[in-house]
Structure 1
Amino acid sequence: MRTDENPSIAVTGSTGHVGGAVAGHLRHAGVPLRLVVRDAGRAPAWVGDVVEASYGQRDAAAAALRGIDVLFMVSASESADRLEQHRTFIDAAADAGVRHVVYTSFLGAAPDATFTLARTHWATEEHLRASPMSWTFLRNSLYLDVFPLFAGQEGVIRGPGGDGRVGAVARADVARAAAAVLNDPGAHEGHTYDLTGPEALTLAEIARVIAQATGRATTYQNETLDEAYASRRPYGAPDWQVEAWVSTYTAIAAGRLDVVTDAVERLTGRPPMSLADVLASA
């Protein structure tokens, strides 16, 4: 039972993996929702309260959030102006009278984080802390679901990750944890949760699990920094994006993601999924 008396909840990112799953969990629990989306045509058909607004549109976002008490804010898509978008949306939420924001951050968010995108998450957290709203931060590790994609068509995970370990988490578990928080938001104000899977694996171990589960040859190639930048150059991505890609691996090598917590189980009452579980469910 929620400690808040029927709080009104808005969910962003409902056309994506995590936001969509969160919306589904809350619907199943009978929680009234408003979905804030960029394109209403892509919103789940079962939701009647859908409003269009982008993170960077302060007036439109404020209008979309009027009457909302609790906001589930999925971090924006990676972009050069991601932090500016976050700050604008947070200011819009405050303008609209939102009381509590639940934000999807990243494990180890800090101004000097090795993983460059975790620095943006830290700055977003700081903006929320300075706002008049209460907050809850869900700092997830890397997603288990993306490692098969890292292997690509060649079946090779390439990066300067060395023998470092990562306690990656399933997107489904992040969504379940978020839904648990949103179902009782008052109990989680001012809390930060590090969301991880049940074990920390090296990239070589991850490759072996993928190979065993899929029957497709998958290996890990430990690159030097020079090799990592060179292998990503053909994509033509901007410098900030390439730096983010490479720093995903250097953060693993530096031990920054070698973290395993019980937060998922404490929040949801169920242990988190392993990589083998994720691959089996897929």
Structure 2
Amino acid sequence: MENTPYRTVFGATGKIGRALLGFLSEAQLPTIAVTRDLGRAESLPFVEWVAADMSRPETLPATMENSVAAFLVSGMGANFIAEQHNVITAAKAAGVKSFVKLSSAAAGKSWPAHIAPSAIGQSHRKVEDLLKASGLDWTILQPTGFMQNWLGEFSKRVKEERSIYEATGDGGRAYIDLRDIAEVAFTVLKDPAKHAGQTYILTGDEVLNYWQLADIIGTVIHQKVTYVPLTLEEARERMEKTGMPQWTIQTLITYAEVQRNGDATYVSNDVQQVLGKPARTAAAFIADHIEWFR
């Protein structure tokens, strides 16, 4: 790592982190990828893997040796705020100049003012405040609902039953492809000074409800797909049967209720502003992942 300017990526084995590493590697930008488990590391040109644990500050300095910028994404947990603050503090001590944090639209101005922020939104907002007070040059990314959430149980239902079960009624959201989030993060990390002090709200360019998404999926797979609207209580019961933690259930119910009430229709042009091209569409996403649905 000596005398080489690096970018450091925390959360490097997650979906967004892996996509970001792909962009950095292709651009031949030397990168330090951070993970707790090196067994999950993926070999890529220009990427060096370092093991560290955000809950153990003593492991963090090695992740940012000669690093000019850091990107942080991590899963929500009981110690989320403290762990992310540990990374921010370590970056400051290591002389990192620029810090890019993946936050959530639930922490920003796109969240409806008349509804209390979710637990996830509150946690991200607290970390955003800590980052802004750190003295680092910062850029914050606030994405909305992920298209990749349609892969898994959602797509399994489409494949097996040709049905979508959601409690959002007629309400829509401008869903975003994680690849766009990763590409925005990559663009910021290439020239962080250009984006310092900016908060980018990352949405798709089209607001869709599940009636419309069912039609889009049906068109792509050449099969009729039906949206089955659930009540909020029905949605809660289905999640409880899976053993999902109550805080997660309540967060998802809150998101569904916001969308159901028509309060999730915010569309930002920040993706196009940063990338110089439109956000990926839902139809393109379904086509790229067609085997999940067909």
Q: Same fold (TM over 0.5)?
A: yes
Native 8 Å contact 2:106 2:117 kept in 1:
no
1:117 corresponds in structure 2 to 120
Count of aligned residue pairs for this structure pair: 276
Match of 2:213 among 185, 206, 217: 206
What's the offset of the Cα at 1:8?
2.7
Query: Residues 175-211 of structure 1: CA distance to partner in whole angstroms, max 9, x if unpaired?
Result: 1111111111100000011111120011221222123
Q: CA RMSD in A?
A: 2.2
**Whole-angstrom CA distance in 1 between matches of 2:38 and 2:120:** 28
Structure 2 unaligned spans of 5+: 290-294
Please say if 1:64 is aligned against 2:63: yes
CA deviations on 1:6-47 (whole Å, 9 max, x unpaired) are 853111222222111111112222211111112223222124
Q: Which whole-Å deviations, capped at 9, do the CAs of 1:194-233 have from their partners, x for residues lacking one? A: 1111200112212221232234554333322322221211
1:136 pairs with 132, 136, 139, which one? 139
**Which digits, 9 at most, give the CA deviation of each residue in 1:133-190, with x for residues without a partner?**
1210111111112224352533343333122110011111111111111111100000
Identify the residue that residue 172 of structure 1 maps to in structure 2: 179
Over 6 Å off, 4+ runs: none
Counterpart of 1:149 in structure 2 is: 152
Alignment of 1:15-30 (within 5 A): 15-30=13-28
Q: What TM-score do you get using the length of structure 1 for normalisation?
A: 0.89
Question: Which residue is equivalent to 1:85?
Answer: 83
Q: Residue 210 and residue 150 in structure 1: after superposition, are their counterparts in 2 closer, same or farther (change >3 A)?
A: farther
Mapped to 2, the partners of 1:25 and 1:44 lie a distance apart of 14
The structural deviation recorded for 1:54 is: 1.9
Indicate if the aligned counterparts of 1:150 and 1:157 stay in contact, CA closer than 8 A: no
Alignment of 1:158 onto 2:165: yes
Output the TM-score relative to the length of structure 2: 0.85
Larger mean CA deviation between 259-268 and 135-144 belongs to: 259-268
2:232 to 225, 243, 257: 225
- Give the 3 Å change call, closer, same or farther, for CA 100–166 of structure 1 in structure 2: same
Q: 1:85 to 1:18 in 2, by over 3 A?
A: same
Are the structure 2 counterparts of residues 48 and 185 from structure 1 closer, same or farther at C-alpha, using a change threshold of 3 Å? closer
Aligned CA distance change for structure 1 residues 150 and 263 (closer, same or farther; 3 Å) = farther
Quick check: 1:239 aligned with 2:246?
yes
Amino acid at match of 2:221: T
Q: Equivalent residue for 2:292? A: none
Partner Cα distance (2:11, 2:187) in 1: 17
Deviations 1:240-265 (A, max 9, x none): 11112222312312334312222112
1:257 aligns with 2:241: no
Cα separation, partners in 2 of 1:256 and 1:131, compared to 1, 3 Å: farther
Cα deviation for residue 101 of structure 1 reads 0.9
Does the CA contact (< 8 Å) of 1:116 and 1:247 recur in 2?
Answer: no
Rounded Cα–Cα distance in structure 2 between residues aligned with 1:238 and 1:50: 32
CA distance in 2, matches of 1:145, 1:90: 28
The whole-number CA distance in structure 1 between the counterparts of 2:224 and 2:76 is 30
- Native 8 Å contact 1:114 1:251 kept in 2: no
Same amino acid, percent of matched pairs: 29
